[in-house]
Amino acid sequence: MARLSVNINKIATLRNTRQGNIPNVKLAAINCEEFGAEGITVHPRPDERHIRYSDVRDLKPIITTEFNIEGYPGRSFLDLVLEVLPDQVTLVPDAHDAITSNAGWDTIAHRGLLTDIVSELKAAGIRVSLFVGAEVKMIEGASLIGADRIELYTEPYATAYPFNPDLAISSFLLAARAAEDLKLGVNAGHDLSLQNLRFFNQSIPNLLEVSIGHALISDALYLGLELTILKYKECLR
């Protein structure tokens, strides 16, 4: 069964619209775990417009499942990760002003940069995942770089799913098979939802983990956080 890691960035986004600490990011993480989440994901950006570096430091001691930190591997981000030592770091190629992740790594063009960074993080005992599109050559590049896992960028799947699920999943299935052949673990994330997650999970037999934030937190506004997490976990059975 694939694990559900809840991205709590949106909790911090709401908090940051006002002074104070409502909603409480630490309490949100605790509740997600109590309600069944098997991991907590955060994606701090340099402008700290949602998760702050101080949040990352505060969260580490209280997380009892898996702590996954996503981000572009600039020096300040890497220093934070090496200080906090999460279970997993997911490297993404976001520009500093990106609203959200919108592409995977070109693991061929950035092989030199990423090889050194992945080596540094793995030497600290951190599992490293690279955010990539569903292209076999990019997954082969991730293997050459030395990553432990890939995280498949699933927005193209989510966009195409309502029109033709089988076509939408086809490239992701090929990508997952390539990763398995290369002994890479497979994670997935971006625009996965209650509408499309079950089919994705049933179609990708070697899926280890999904990281979901925007859709899950949005659903929680209507359903409540506990019921929402239970529904997402049902999709992963």
Residues marked as catalytic: 43, 70, 190
Q: Containing H/E element for 114?
A: helix 111-123
How far CA 186 is from CA of 23, 50, 181, in Å, comes to: 32, 27, 11
CB 219 within 8 A of CB 198: no
179-186 long-range CB contacts below 8 Å, 24 or more apart? 179/139, 179/142, 179/150, 179/206, 180/206, 182/139, 182/140, 182/143, 183/143, 184/139, 184/142, 184/143, 184/147, 184/148, 184/149, 184/150, 185/129, 185/148, 185/149, 185/150, 186/149, 186/150, 186/152
